[in-house]
Amino acid sequence: MKTLLVVYHSMTGGTLQMARAAADGASTEPSVQVRLLRAPDAAAEDLIDADGYIFATPENLAAISGLLKDFFDRTYYAALERLNGRPYAALICAGSDGQNAARQIERIASGWRLKPVAPALIICTHAQSREAILRPKQIGPEGLQSCQDIGAAMAAGLVLGVY
Ligand SMILES: Cc1cc2nc3c(=O)[nH]c(=O)nc-3n(C[C@H](O)[C@H](O)[C@H](O)COP(=O)(O)O)c2cc1C
Protein backbone atom coordinates (compact mmCIF):
# COMPACT_ATOMS: atom_id res chain seq x y z
CA MET A 1 0.00 0.00 0.00
CA LYS A 2 1.39 3.41 -0.99
CA THR A 3 0.43 6.67 0.68
CA LEU A 4 -0.15 10.00 -1.03
CA LEU A 5 -0.20 12.99 1.29
CA VAL A 6 -2.09 16.10 0.17
CA VAL A 7 -1.34 19.16 2.32
CA TYR A 8 -3.29 22.34 1.67
CA HIS A 9 -4.43 25.66 2.99
CA SER A 10 -7.31 27.74 1.66
CA MET A 11 -8.97 30.96 2.77
CA THR A 12 -11.89 31.25 0.38
CA GLY A 13 -12.28 27.67 -0.79
CA GLY A 14 -10.55 27.58 -4.18
CA THR A 15 -7.47 25.66 -3.08
CA LEU A 16 -9.62 23.33 -1.01
CA GLN A 17 -11.59 22.37 -4.13
CA MET A 18 -8.35 21.80 -6.03
CA ALA A 19 -6.86 19.67 -3.25
CA ARG A 20 -10.06 17.61 -2.96
CA ALA A 21 -10.16 17.06 -6.71
CA ALA A 22 -6.55 15.85 -6.69
CA ALA A 23 -7.33 13.55 -3.75
CA ASP A 24 -10.41 12.21 -5.58
CA GLY A 25 -8.31 11.54 -8.68
CA ALA A 26 -5.75 9.65 -6.63
CA SER A 27 -8.46 7.67 -4.84
CA THR A 28 -9.34 5.91 -8.09
CA GLU A 29 -6.23 3.81 -7.42
CA PRO A 30 -7.35 1.25 -4.82
CA SER A 31 -3.87 0.43 -3.57
CA VAL A 32 -3.07 4.05 -2.72
CA GLN A 33 -4.10 5.52 0.61
CA VAL A 34 -4.83 9.23 0.20
CA ARG A 35 -4.43 11.54 3.19
CA LEU A 36 -5.85 15.04 2.77
CA LEU A 37 -4.58 17.26 5.59
CA ARG A 38 -4.94 20.96 6.35
CA ALA A 39 -1.49 22.48 6.71
CA PRO A 40 -1.91 23.26 10.44
CA ASP A 41 -2.79 19.60 11.07
CA ALA A 42 0.19 18.13 9.19
CA ALA A 43 3.49 17.20 10.82
CA ALA A 44 6.90 15.86 9.80
CA GLU A 45 5.82 12.26 10.56
CA ASP A 46 3.04 12.60 7.99
CA LEU A 47 5.65 13.49 5.38
CA ILE A 48 8.07 10.76 6.40
CA ASP A 49 5.32 8.11 6.39
CA ALA A 50 4.07 9.03 2.89
CA ASP A 51 5.44 8.03 -0.52
CA GLY A 52 4.43 11.09 -2.53
CA TYR A 53 3.06 14.59 -1.97
CA ILE A 54 0.72 17.22 -3.32
CA PHE A 55 1.12 20.69 -1.84
CA ALA A 56 -1.78 23.08 -2.50
CA THR A 57 -1.92 26.76 -1.63
CA PRO A 58 -3.35 30.10 -2.61
CA GLU A 59 -0.87 32.76 -3.64
CA ASN A 60 -1.09 35.45 -0.99
CA LEU A 61 1.04 38.59 -1.19
CA ALA A 62 3.21 36.99 -3.88
CA ALA A 63 3.95 33.99 -1.67
CA ILE A 64 2.58 30.67 -0.47
CA SER A 65 -0.03 31.12 2.25
CA GLY A 66 1.27 31.74 5.75
CA LEU A 67 -0.11 28.48 7.09
CA LEU A 68 1.54 26.39 4.36
CA LYS A 69 4.79 28.26 5.07
CA ASP A 70 4.31 27.46 8.76
CA PHE A 71 3.91 23.78 7.84
CA PHE A 72 7.18 23.84 5.87
CA ASP A 73 8.92 25.77 8.67
CA ARG A 74 7.79 23.20 11.26
CA THR A 75 8.72 20.16 9.20
CA TYR A 76 11.65 21.12 6.96
CA TYR A 77 14.59 20.06 9.11
CA ALA A 78 12.82 17.13 10.77
CA ALA A 79 12.12 15.68 7.34
CA LEU A 80 15.39 16.67 5.64
CA GLU A 81 17.27 13.68 4.11
CA ARG A 82 14.28 11.44 4.77
CA LEU A 83 12.21 12.22 1.69
CA ASN A 84 14.94 12.09 -0.96
CA GLY A 85 13.76 11.10 -4.43
CA ARG A 86 10.05 10.97 -3.67
CA PRO A 87 7.58 12.58 -6.12
CA TYR A 88 5.54 15.72 -5.57
CA ALA A 89 3.20 18.11 -7.35
CA ALA A 90 2.13 21.67 -6.51
CA LEU A 91 -1.33 23.19 -6.97
CA ILE A 92 -1.64 26.97 -6.78
CA CYS A 93 -4.87 28.95 -6.63
CA ALA A 94 -4.11 32.54 -7.55
CA GLY A 95 -6.02 35.69 -8.28
CA SER A 96 -3.95 36.65 -11.29
CA ASP A 97 -0.37 35.37 -10.95
CA GLY A 98 0.78 32.41 -8.83
CA GLN A 99 4.34 32.22 -10.14
CA ASN A 100 6.06 33.19 -6.91
CA ALA A 101 4.11 30.69 -4.85
CA ALA A 102 5.07 28.00 -7.38
CA ARG A 103 8.72 29.03 -7.21
CA GLN A 104 8.72 28.91 -3.42
CA ILE A 105 7.34 25.38 -3.35
CA GLU A 106 9.82 24.29 -6.03
CA ARG A 107 12.66 25.65 -3.95
CA ILE A 108 11.56 23.97 -0.74
CA ALA A 109 10.92 20.70 -2.57
CA SER A 110 14.32 20.77 -4.22
CA GLY A 111 15.89 21.18 -0.75
CA TRP A 112 14.08 18.01 0.25
CA ARG A 113 15.34 16.37 -2.97
CA LEU A 114 11.77 15.72 -4.09
CA LYS A 115 11.09 15.09 -7.78
CA PRO A 116 8.37 17.12 -9.54
CA VAL A 117 5.94 14.91 -11.48
CA ALA A 118 4.66 17.92 -13.45
CA PRO A 119 5.09 21.70 -13.55
CA ALA A 120 3.08 23.48 -10.83
CA LEU A 121 -0.58 23.75 -11.81
CA ILE A 122 -1.71 27.37 -11.38
CA ILE A 123 -5.42 28.15 -11.55
CA CYS A 124 -6.39 31.82 -11.62
CA THR A 125 -9.70 32.84 -10.06
CA HIS A 126 -9.37 36.36 -11.53
CA ALA A 127 -9.97 37.85 -8.08
CA GLN A 128 -8.29 41.22 -7.94
CA SER A 129 -10.70 43.66 -6.32
CA ARG A 130 -11.27 43.67 -2.58
CA GLU A 131 -14.79 42.22 -3.03
CA ALA A 132 -13.70 39.50 -5.43
CA ILE A 133 -10.80 38.44 -3.24
CA LEU A 134 -12.97 38.06 -0.15
CA ARG A 135 -15.76 36.18 -1.99
CA PRO A 136 -15.96 32.33 -1.81
CA LYS A 137 -14.29 30.81 -4.88
CA GLN A 138 -15.61 28.29 -7.37
CA ILE A 139 -13.09 26.41 -9.48
CA GLY A 140 -14.49 25.47 -12.89
CA PRO A 141 -14.82 21.90 -14.16
CA GLU A 142 -11.75 22.16 -16.42
CA GLY A 143 -9.53 23.25 -13.54
CA LEU A 144 -10.90 20.54 -11.28
CA GLN A 145 -10.31 17.96 -13.99
CA SER A 146 -6.66 19.06 -14.25
CA CYS A 147 -6.29 18.60 -10.50
CA GLN A 148 -7.93 15.18 -10.67
CA ASP A 149 -5.59 14.20 -13.50
CA ILE A 150 -2.54 15.15 -11.43
CA GLY A 151 -3.82 13.13 -8.48
CA ALA A 152 -4.58 10.14 -10.68
CA ALA A 153 -1.20 10.31 -12.43
CA MET A 154 0.63 10.58 -9.14
CA ALA A 155 -1.24 7.59 -7.69
CA ALA A 156 -0.69 5.47 -10.82
CA GLY A 157 3.02 6.33 -10.78
CA LEU A 158 3.30 5.35 -7.13
CA VAL A 159 1.69 1.98 -7.80
CA LEU A 160 3.89 1.31 -10.84
CA GLY A 161 6.98 2.48 -8.96
CA VAL A 162 8.04 4.80 -11.77
CA TYR A 163 9.34 7.56 -9.51
C1 LIG B 1 -4.04 38.76 1.47
C2 LIG B 1 -4.16 38.28 0.05
C3 LIG B 1 -3.13 38.47 -0.84
C4 LIG B 1 -3.21 38.02 -2.17
N5 LIG B 1 -2.14 38.16 -2.99
C6 LIG B 1 -2.17 37.63 -4.23
C7 LIG B 1 -1.01 37.65 -5.05
O8 LIG B 1 0.05 38.13 -4.67
N9 LIG B 1 -1.10 37.12 -6.30
C10 LIG B 1 -2.26 36.55 -6.77
O11 LIG B 1 -2.28 36.07 -7.89
N12 LIG B 1 -3.38 36.50 -5.99
C13 LIG B 1 -3.35 37.01 -4.74
N14 LIG B 1 -4.46 36.93 -3.92
C15 LIG B 1 -5.68 36.32 -4.45
C16 LIG B 1 -5.82 34.85 -4.05
O17 LIG B 1 -4.73 34.09 -4.49
C18 LIG B 1 -7.10 34.28 -4.67
O19 LIG B 1 -8.20 34.94 -4.09
C20 LIG B 1 -7.23 32.79 -4.52
O21 LIG B 1 -8.28 32.36 -5.31
C22 LIG B 1 -7.44 32.40 -3.07
O23 LIG B 1 -7.47 30.99 -2.93
P24 LIG B 1 -8.37 30.32 -1.80
O25 LIG B 1 -9.80 30.45 -2.26
O26 LIG B 1 -7.93 28.91 -1.75
O27 LIG B 1 -8.13 31.04 -0.52
C28 LIG B 1 -4.39 37.37 -2.60
C29 LIG B 1 -5.45 37.16 -1.68
C30 LIG B 1 -5.34 37.60 -0.38
C31 LIG B 1 -6.48 37.37 0.58
pLDDT tens readout for residues 140-159: 999 999 999 999 999 999 99
What local confidence, expressed as pLDDT, does residue 14 receive?
A: 98
pLDDT class of 86 with cuts at 50, 70, 90: very high
Mean pLDDT of 50-55: 98
Residue 61: how many other CB atoms lie within 10 Å: 9
45: left (phi over 0), alpha (psi -120 to 50) or beta: alpha
pTM of the prediction? 0.98
Contacts of 47 (CB under 8 A, 6+ apart): 5, 53, 75, 79, 82, 83
Report the alpha-carbon distance of residue 11 to residue 9 in Å, rounded.
7
For ligand 1, whether the C-beta of 133 sits within 6 Å is yes
Cα–ligand 1 centroid distance for 149 (angstroms): 24
Q: Is 11 in the pocket of ligand 1 (CB under 6 A)?
A: yes
Mean pLDDT of the 34-59 span? 98
Ligand 1 atom at minimal distance to the Cα of residue 94: 17
- Is residue 143 within 6 Å of ligand 1 at its C-beta? no
Q: Decide whether any atom of ligand 1 lies within 6 Å of the 9 Cβ.
A: no
pLDDT at 117: 96
